């Protein structure tokens, strides 16, 4: 069971609660029967222009975890850490394997990785509920050849605008949230107010739980991947959807509080936000450097550029999200 900010058990949610949230915040048809962008439709050109005006120092902060074998994956669902190997290297040049070319020698490499093994966006085709994904498209539109609807490549030029960091541990006065602790609408609103920042339509909200900081302090990822974690509760949908943000990302493996708030649905917040609302969800964002910088200058808003890689028909994508201040 998740807990509130005081560690007290919260009211147990039910399947009816989940369905009520889905009904309340469903955006199917809102931007037309053929829409595949969901809440990215909130972003208008003037919002991007305004976001560019937030760049005052020329400082660029990456929120990506390194893509290497030291990542958090443990094989759950076939997800492994990225595997990097060389196709050509200095040894090939030294033994004459490249002597067919005049004078020039080179190195080449390759990588194997599940697209959601590190810092990543969920495409709107990533999750189904009752056989449907966002905007009512059936799960049959995602086959062994990829997603014919709601694929990640459709968002390549769309994920840019104003970003806001909500540093929940700093707001609580703790180094990190403990696994199982939830973040609700009231706390998201209170954190924003305490940081002196207003969140509104078209914003990208990065929610720090400190889970990565905890793992680093302990010297191991432990149960980070698919295990218990702090995160967003179902109640957070009221603040997230009510503010009409474009996307939300966290520093945890699955964005929402785990153990989940009810046993009947795995990852119920995904059902509300991704499937019903069509909201872009990011996971495994490394927010530690950004949090230190924001705390240092007291500025929690920035230009945010985080386009997914254009993997055609993919249901998720790695990226290098950048906060520009």
pLDDT tens digits, residue range 66-91?
999 999 999 999 999 999 999 999 99
Number of domains forming the structure of the chain = 2
Q: Does the structure show a pLDDT above 90 at 157?
A: yes
Residue 33 in any domain: the answer is yes
d(CA 323, CA 325): 7
**Contact 255/230 with Cβ under 8 angstroms?**
no
Instruction: State how far the Cα of 64 lies from the Cα of 282, in Å rounded to an integer.
Output: 11
**Residue 2, pLDDT score:** 44
* Backbone angle region of 324, left / alpha / beta, with phi > 0 → left and psi within -120 to 50 → alpha: beta
Residue 12: what pLDDT?
Answer: 86
- 42 with 98, same domain: the answer is no
Does the pLDDT value for residue 8 go beyond 80? no
Give me the pLDDT at residue 36, please.
Answer: 98
163 plus 85 within the same structural domain: no
Q: How far is CA 213 from the centre of its chain?
A: 17
Tokens found for residue 260: 């989940």
CA distance 44 to 161: 9
Task: Tell me if 284 is assigned to some domain.
Answer: yes
Q: Are residues 46 and 97 in the same domain?
A: no
d(CA 13, CA 250): 22
Report residue 296 CA to chain centroid gap.
Answer: 24
Report helix angle 211-218 to 288-297, nearest 10: 110
**Residue linked to tokens 């985080």:** 306
Find out whether 234 and 268 touch, Cβ atoms under 8 Å: yes
In a domain, 35, yes or no: yes
CATH number of the domain within which 317 lies = 3.50.30.50
Residue 175 belongs to a domain: yes
Task: Answer whether residue 4 is part of any domain.
Answer: no
For 168, the domain range is: 15-72+116-324
SS3 of 151, please?
A: coil
Residues 271 and 151 in one domain: yes
Task: From 54, 89, 112, give the residue that closes a domain.
Answer: 112
Average pLDDT of the chain to the nearest whole number: 96
Mean pLDDT along residues 187-192: 98
Q: Within this chain, do residues 139 and 225 fall inside the same structural domain, yes or no?
A: yes
Within-domain flag for 2? no
- CB 180 within 8 Å of CB 140: no
Closest CA to 184 of 226, 227, 228, 231: 231
Asked if 265 and 191 sit in the same domain, the reply is: yes
Residues 61 and 43 in one domain: yes
124 and 21, same structural domain? yes
Residues 84, 29 share a domain? no
Same domain, 102 and 226: no
159 touches 307 (CB < 8 A): yes
| 314 inside domain | yes
Beta pairing class for 231-232 and 182-183 = parallel
% pLDDT > 90, the chain? 96
Length of the chain: 325
């Amino acid at each position: 069971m998740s807990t509130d900010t005081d560690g007290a058990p919260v009211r147990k949610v039910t399947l009816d609660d989940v369905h009520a949230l889905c009904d309340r915040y469903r955006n199917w048809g809102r931007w037309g029967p053929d829409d595949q962008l969901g809440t990215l439709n909130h972003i208008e050109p003037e919002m991007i222009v305004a976001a560019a005006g937030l760049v005052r120092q020329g400082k660029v902060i990456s929120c990506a975890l390194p893509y290497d074998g030291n990542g958090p994956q443990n094989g759950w669902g076939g997800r492994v850490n990225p595997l990097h190997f060389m196709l050509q290297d200095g040894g090939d040049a030294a033994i004459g394997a490249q002597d067919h070319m005049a004078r020039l020698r080179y190195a080449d490499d390759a990588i194997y990785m599940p697209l959601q093994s590190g810092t990543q966006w969920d495409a709107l085709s990533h999750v189904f509920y009752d056989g449907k994904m966002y905007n009512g498209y059936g799960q049959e539109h995602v086959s062994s050849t990829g997603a014919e609807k709601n694929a990640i490549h459709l968002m390549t030029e769309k994920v840019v605008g104003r970003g806001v960091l909500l540093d929940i541990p700093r707001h609580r006065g703790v180094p990190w949230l403990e696994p199982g602790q939830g973040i609700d609408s009231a706390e998201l609103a209170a954190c924003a107010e305490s940081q002196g920042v207003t969140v509104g339509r078209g914003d990208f909200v990065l929610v720090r739980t400190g889970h990565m900081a905890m793992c680093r302090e302990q010297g191991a990822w432990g149960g980070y991947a698919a295990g218990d974690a702090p995160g967003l509760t179902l109640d957070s949908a009221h603040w997230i959807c009510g503010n009409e943000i474009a996307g939300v990302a966290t520093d945890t493996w699955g964005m929402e509080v785990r153990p989940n708030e009810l046993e009947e649905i795995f990852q119920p917040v995904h059902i509300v936000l991704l499937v019903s609302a069509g909201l872009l969800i990011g996971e495994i964002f490394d927010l530690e450097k950004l949090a230190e910088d924001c705390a240092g200058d007291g500025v929690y808003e920035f230009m945010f550029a985080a386009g997914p890689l254009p993997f055609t028909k993919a249901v998720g994508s790695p990226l290098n999200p950048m906060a520009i201040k």
